[in-house]
Chain A
Amino acid sequence: AQTVTQSQPEMSVQEAETVTLSCTYDTSESNYYLFWYKQPPSRQMILVIRQEAYKQQNATENRFSVNFQKAAKSFSLKISDSQLGDTAMYFCAFMKTGSARQLTFGSGTQLTVLP
């Protein structure tokens, strides 16, 4: 079974600054996907970024980027130029390839962007 660990329950950052959220995972699979989801106070789950394990290049989506270290089983999210709208709970999630595509989530990091 896979496990996903987010060791930072809460973090804060000043507006316009950069913040990095940590995530580690444990798996014996070689092919999988990793995701970061954002959950604002509205509770809607929003996909922020995803990474295919077979790709060495780190994924980037505008102000969001990841540092994927496959050997270390680490998948951190960097948010640049933080905005007030980035305030949310952030979940790291793992999906092994194959049938059903089930997601395994970490416990989340509550990020607060301070004005």
Chain B
Amino acid sequence: NAGVTQTPKFRVLKTGQSMTLLCAQDMNHEYMYWYRQDPGMGLRLIHYSVGEGTTAKGEVPDGYNVSRLKKQNFLLGLESAAPSQTSVYFCASSRSGQETQYFGPGTRLLVL
């Protein structure tokens, strides 16, 4: 049981490039989340999904898009990366009706 996995672990982008971060969970959880963590701050919610085919905006959604085509996967896209998107990105999942979120190991993204 791998839990929540994230791909890639680390990536360097140039300003204006695009990329997709992949989150996968094998716990059959309904809910999935994307957070970003910046120095001196806690995690902030970017987007979330309460089920396959549904997504919603969180606290800091600008510059990001997401898709949940399969229940086990939640993709986070950056269409045109900016230096302000340099951060560590965490994915999490939880079961419907349960409050505990399980986190992936994080993806460190550097935008030059």
Binding site for B on A (CB under 8 A): 4, 9, 33, 42-45, 47, 50, 91, 93, 95, 97, 99-108
Taken together as a complex, chains A and B put the C-alpha atoms of A95 and B92 apart, in Å, by 14
* B94 lies within 8 A of A101 (CB): yes
Taken together as a complex, chains A and B put the C-alpha atoms of A42 and B108 apart, in Å, by 12
The stretch of B39-47, B67-75, B78-86 that contacts the partner chain = B39-47
Main secondary structure of the interface of A (DSSP, over half): loop
* A105 lies within 8 A of B88 (CB): no
10 sampled A-B residue pairs with Cβ under 8 A: A44-B106, A97-B99, A99-B50, A100-B48, A102-B33, A103-B45, A104-B45, A105-B43, A107-B40, A108-B42
Interface centre among A101, A102, A107, A108 (most CB of B within 10 A): A101
Closest to B41 in A: A107
Q: Given contacts A44-B105, A45-B92, could you give 14 more A-B pairs where the C-beta distance is less than 8 Å?
A: A9-B40, A33-B99, A44-B103, A91-B43, A97-B99, A100-B31, A102-B45, A102-B48, A103-B33, A103-B43, A103-B92, A105-B42, A105-B43, A107-B41
Total A-B residue pairs with C-beta atoms closer than 8 Å? Answer: 53
Closest to A99 in B: B50
Q: How many Å from the CB of B28 to the closest CB on chain A?
A: 16
Q: How many Å from the CB of B96 to the closest CB on chain A?
A: 9
3 closest A-B pairs by CB = A105-B42, A45-B103, A43-B106
* A50 lies within 8 A of B100 (CB): yes
For A50, the chain B residues whose CB sits under 8 A away are 99-100
Taken together as a complex, chains A and B put the C-alpha atoms of A18 and B43 apart, in Å, by 27
